[in-house]
Amino acid sequence: MQWNRRLWMRLATVNALASVLALILSAHLPEHLSSLVRIGAQIQFMHSMASIACATFMNVGAVSARHAPPYLLGGSLLFALLHYGAALGFWGTANWMTGFAAVVMATGWLIMSISGRNIDR
């Protein structure tokens, strides 16, 4: 399997679909659990869209943006799964892995920011 733009965009859209389904299902949970799922789904969706935006960055000259999707998708999936797990009662939300997931997502944003210097050269 080759990790190219097509695969990242497909993974990003599947990730976005999963986040929308989680958001829809959160409507059937009690409010204190629903809020955990909503936060996870929103972060997951936002970073799916950012991963799709990486393709646009690459189309306008920021080729190094191809390195951002694994960080954006991986970090957001970990963050969301931690929140979904907390809503299901597997663990609390104050988990060191949520901080790790945030750092991974921030790395993806930093890569996109740095790659932006090559846009429209």
Beta-carbon-side half-sphere exposure of residue 41 (alpha carbons within 13 Å): 18
CA dihedral of 100, 16, 39, 104, whole degrees rounded to 10 = 10
Find the mean pLDDT for residues 84-107: 88
- What pTM value is reported for the model? 0.89
Supply the range of the domain harboring residue 36.
Answer: 5-118
Per the structure, how many domains does the chain have?
1
pLDDT of residue 14: 96
Sequence letter at residue 14: V
The sign of the dihedral angle between the CA atoms of 47, 101, 7, 116 is: positive
Contact 57, 93 (CB under 8 A): no
Is the Cβ–Cβ distance between 51 and 68 less than 8 Å? yes
- In this prediction, residue 3 has a pLDDT band, given cuts at 50, 70 and 90, of low
What is the per-residue pLDDT across 54-85, written as a single tens digit (0 to 9) for each?
A: 888 888 888 888 899 999 999 999 999 999 99
State pLDDT tens for residues 23-56. 999 999 999 899 999 999 999 999 999 999 988 8
